[in-house]
Each structure stands twice: as C-alpha cells, then as structure tokens.
Amino acid sequence: MSDACGSCSSNQGAGGCSGCEPEDQKLTKTLSRIKHKIVVLSGKGGVGKSTVATNIAVGLALAGKQVGLLDVDVHGPSIPRLLSMQDKQPHIGHEIIEPISWSKNLWVMSLGFMLPSRDDAVIWRGPVKMGLIKQFVRDVAWGDLDFLIVDCPPGTGDEPLSALQTIGPEAYAVIVTTPQGVAIDDVRRSVTFCRQVGNPVLGIVENMSGFACPDCGKVYNIFNSGGGEALAREMNVPFLGRIPIEPEVARSADEGFPYVKVEHDSPAAQAFNRVIKPMLKMADSLQEKPASELPTLERLAKGNGSLRVALPVAEGKLCQHFGHCQQFAVYDIDTATKGVVASTNETPPTHEPGVFPKWIAGLKVDLVLAGGMGAKAQSLLKEEGVQVLVGAPSVDPEEVLKSWLEGTLQTGANTCDH
Ligand code: ADP
C-alpha cells in the first residue's frame, strides 16, 4: 500500500479501493500541503493530552508558524472549550469543511463543533467513529500549513489507529503521560503501538510531574517523578520534558485561554516551550533546502541514462537512523523508463563515524534516500558526490523508491541529527 493510498487500507475487504480513489487523492492532496504532522496520543484519558496538544499548537503559532489544530478525540472533544470556541460553527461546503480561525495563523477543527450542544455525548458506533476521523482529516480545507497538530482519542484501539493510518507514516507521535506507574505502562503500549503502525515517536511528555507552587515557584514532587524519562530511555525514544501541575494551567483550561499565550516564564510555560523546540528545529531543517535544490529524478537524470539509489533498511522498512541500519537496498534505475533494472541488498561494515559514506561511495551510489541522517554523514556523502534526500517515511523501501520515481514522495523532518 502506498503512502498515497493510506486511507483505503480498511476498505480493501469491502470491495477493494477502486471506489475510494478520488477520496484518497483528495486526502493525499490535503496532506501534501502540510509540512509536518504531529499526532498527540496518550495511553489513557485525563493525563492532559488535549491541554498539551492545544499549548503545542498555540506555542508554534506564537513562533510564527502556520498551524492547524485538529481534534478527533471522539470521546470528549475538548479543544473548543480550551480555546473559548464553543459557540463557533464551521462552514460546511460541498465536500469541504472550513476550519475556524483562532488567530491569523492558527486554524481549528473539532468534532465538538459538530455536536448540537456542548452537553451532547458522542454515541456513534465504532466503525462510524473511524469513518468520521478519516472524513475529518480528508475534508477539512487546511490549505498550506507548517504544522498540523492532531489531538487523538486516547488508548491504542481502533480510533487512534484510524487517525494514524489516515494521516500516514510521516506523522510524528508525541505521547503524553503522567509519572505514575499505571500511566507509564500505558505509554509503553503507546510506543509499541506507534512502532507497529510505522510512525516515528517524536518523544514522551511527562505531564503533571510535580506541583509548581504559585507562591514560591518551586516544584514539589508529590508523586514519583521521572518515570516518563526512564521509560523514554528504556524504549529508546526522546524525552521532551516534564510539565508540572500548575493551578494556572487548569484555570486557563477552565476559562478557555491557552496557557502559553499568557505565561512565559513559569516552570510550566518553560516546559511547554521545551516540548515545541524539536518541532521548531524540524521546521528549520526543512527550510534549509529549498525545493529547487531537492534531488529529483529529473534533476539527477540529466546526462545520465542510469542511476544507482541506496536506501538504509532495518526490519524490512526504511531505517529512520542512517547509522543504525542493518542493510542497504540498492537499486539501478533506467532514467528513461523510470524502471528498476537491478536490485541488491548490501550489508554495510560495522558502523563508525565516517565509515558508511565512504563505503556507499565505493558502491557507486548516486543518491541515498533516507529517513534520518546526521549533518556530518550528509556532508561526507556530498563530498563523495553522493546526493542525499532525508525525511522519507518508515515504510517498505520499494514504496519509498517508487514514490520518489513518480515524484510523489512526501518527506518530513530529518529524524536523526547526530
Ligand atoms: P486529556 O485530554 O488527557 O483527557 P485534559 O487535557 O483534558 O486531559 O486534562 C485533564 C485535566 O487536567 C484538565 O482539567 C486540565 O486543565 C488539567 N491539567 C492538564 N495538565 C495540567 C497541568 N500541567 N497542571 C494543572 N492542570 C492540568
């Protein structure tokens, strides 16, 4: 299944995807205009997932980014309340839903806007809920965005699965937990869930980690803190920081103004800012390379009848960390027909700084299509005359190659900066 066909996987049993192709195209088009997708997940409800999602979105918007905030938490869509937007009604046109503007660069869409009254419970059955999530992602007219932040339903069931599958493997997961043991177990399941679905985990946020005293500013650890960080280490995913319990965070949520808009120096505000730092870094790293300089087939094919392309692979998928891959899938391409004329799997030597670039150059590779790659490896490859494209999704390497050949490869952030 190609990335472009992400939304039709669950329809295959019911008559294949021929009937839903225009919808898939629409989804692909919508998603291709969004540079970074961040899906906020939690193992269970009540850990502050919506609070974190809202403050991430507002923090990124305050940093000048074009941001969409999509609330598909079918169990309790709370974003309208958190942003004082309960009375807003989206304009629904022909197969298009217009997001509501919260500020000049933050647009919001929530299932909550569709409920007749704020007291209504959502009693849709499972398959309806999943269809609704898909429709929501596909039909909202976001336009060009730097970031789409998605507030997902909690847990690791069909609904977050549907959200991740619809948005695709280039969406990064941010997993919110609290420090207690039971929440930490849930988060372990969430990390495994993301890995199984094929989405990279941007990191874990430990919310309600200690109590920030409003009088003295000191943070008191009421429960054990540090569980989220230990788990992040154990599961080899980044730790994005601890957000303390701060009465103002709860009050801002109750009164419908985002905390990071009004607070800048408190422990919680600083923690929220640390959480968005890697996202801003993502945006900056993408901007480093203008589209006119990206290595496309057309650009590389000039004067060349054939090209050799290598992709780092681990466990059958494109490896997100160049230096940690098990093998390289190497393809010879006929640039006139865009067809693969030969392919091999090459096992690299033991990884040491600087070893892979030389070895790859020795294979006469023209282009490396990678998930994440450190700046050093990129410049060494460049010195050897090998082109590099980073940010490819963690899917079957043949799919990555195919979409690159077709000119439809969607790249996200460089997932590895060391
Ligand atoms: P979820 O989306 O996981 O169900 P919410 O974001 O709705 O959780 O948060 C649950 C409650 O906890 C809300 O009342 C919210 O205001 C409060 N809350 C979340 N994070 C904090 C925090 N760091 N300090 C104080 N209150 C918080």
21 is a domain residue: no
Quick one: 142 and 268 in the same domain? Answer: yes
In terms of domains, do 112 and 131 share one?
Answer: yes
Distance 171 CA to ligand 1 centre (A): 24
Residue 348 Cα to ligand 1 midpoint, Å, equals 47
Same domain? 228 vs 299: no
pLDDT at 416: 61
Name every residue whose Cβ is closer than 8 Å to that of residue 351 and which is 6 or more positions away in sequence: 323, 324
- Which of 230, 250, 282 lies at the terminal end of a domain, its last residue? 282
Identify the sign of the CA torsion 213, 219, 225, 228. positive
| Atom of ligand 1 lying closest to residue 248 CA | 25
**Res 104 pLDDT > 90:** yes
What pLDDT sits at residue 206? 92
Atom 15 in ligand 1: residue holding the nearest Cα: 250
Domain co-membership, 278 together with 156: yes
Where residue 232 falls among pLDDT bands split at 50, 70, 90? Answer: confident
Q: Where residue 145 sits, what CATH number does that domain have?
A: 3.40.50.300
Q: Among 36, 71, 280, which residue's Cα sits nearest to residue 145? A: 36
Could you tell me if residue 14 is inside a domain?
no
Shared domain for 248 and 120, answered yes or no, is: yes
Q: Is 348 helix (H, G, I), strand (E, B) or coil?
A: coil
DSSP for residue 290: -
Residue 15 pLDDT class (50, 70, 90 cuts): very low
For residue 14, the model assigns a pLDDT of 32
CB-count exposure of residue 86 (10 Å: 0-12, 13-18, 19+): middle
User: What's the rounded Cα separation, in Å, for the pair 99 and 22?
Assistant: 22
Q: Is the pLDDT of residue 6 over 60?
A: no
CA of 107 to the centre of ligand 1 (A): 22
* Residue 10 confidence class, pLDDT cut points 50, 70, 90: very low
412 within a domain of the structure (yes/no): no
- The answer to whether residues 177 and 260 belong to one domain is yes
pLDDT-derived band at 18, boundaries 50, 70, 90: very low
Over range 140-145, report the average pLDDT. Answer: 91
Kind plus residue range of the DSSP H or E element containing 69: strand 67-71
pLDDT of 66 > 90? The answer is: yes
Is residue 66 included in any domain, yes or no? Answer: yes
Mean pLDDT over each residue of the chain, to the nearest integer: 84
pTM exceeding the 0.85 threshold for the entire prediction: no
**150, 229: one domain:** yes
Higher pLDDT among residues 332 and 114, named by residue? 332
Q: What's residue 80's pLDDT?
A: 93
Q: Reduce the secondary structure of 365-398 to three states and give it as a string.
A: CCEEECCCCCHHHHHHHHHCCCEEECCCCCCCHH
Q: Give pLDDT, residue 12.
A: 36
Same domain, 321 and 187: no
Confidence at 318, pLDDT banded by 50, 70, 90: very high
Boundary residue ending a domain (282, 316, 333):
282
In the structure, what pLDDT confidence band is assigned to residue 299 with cuts at 50, 70 and 90? confident
Residue 26 · residue 173 · CB < 8 Å: no
Q: Is 332 found in the same domain as 185?
A: no
Nearest atom of ligand 1 to the alpha carbon of 253: 16
Output the pLDDT for position 3.
Answer: 38
| pLDDT tens per residue, range 404-413 | 998 888 777 6
Asked if pLDDT for residue 123 goes beyond 80, the answer is no
Whether residues 263 and 387 fall in one domain: no
Within-domain flag for 16: no
- Ligand 1 nearest-atom number relative to CA 246: 24
| pLDDT of 213 | 82
Question: pLDDT for 190-210, tens place per residue?
Answer: 999 998 888 888 999 999 888
Question: What residues line ligand 1, using a CB cutoff of 6 Å?
Answer: 42, 45-51, 78, 207-208, 243, 245-246, 249-250, 253, 268
**Same domain flag for 211 and 355:** no
| Residue keyed to tokens 């043991």 | 181
Amino acid letter, 365:
V
Q: Per-residue confidence at 351, pLDDT binned at 50, 70, 90?
A: confident
Pairwise CA distance, residues 202 & 170, whole Å? 11
* Number of domains composing the chain: 2
- The span from the CA of 283 to the CA of 65, in Å, is 9
Share of the chain above pLDDT 70, in %: 88
Task: Choose the final residue of a domain: 231, 256, 282.
Answer: 282
CA of 123 to the centre of ligand 1 (A): 23
Domain holding 353: CATH number?
3.30.420.130
Q: Is the residue at 321 inside a domain?
A: yes
Residues 319 and 357 in one domain: yes
Q: Whose CA is nearest to atom 5 of ligand 1?
A: 48
What is the model's pLDDT at position 9?
A: 38
Specify the pLDDT at position 151.
95
Residue 23 lies in a domain: no
Rounded to whole angstroms, the Cα distance separating 246 from 249 reads 5
Token digits for 340?
């693969």
Atom number, ligand 1, closest to the C-alpha of residue 44: 3
In a domain, 51, yes or no: yes
**How confident is the model over 237-264, as pLDDT tens digits?**
889 999 999 999 999 989 989 888 888 8
Which residue range forms the structural domain that includes residue 351?
291-406
Phi, psi of 242 (to 5 degrees): -110, 135
Question: Which residue has the least CA distance to atom 8 on ligand 1?
Answer: 48
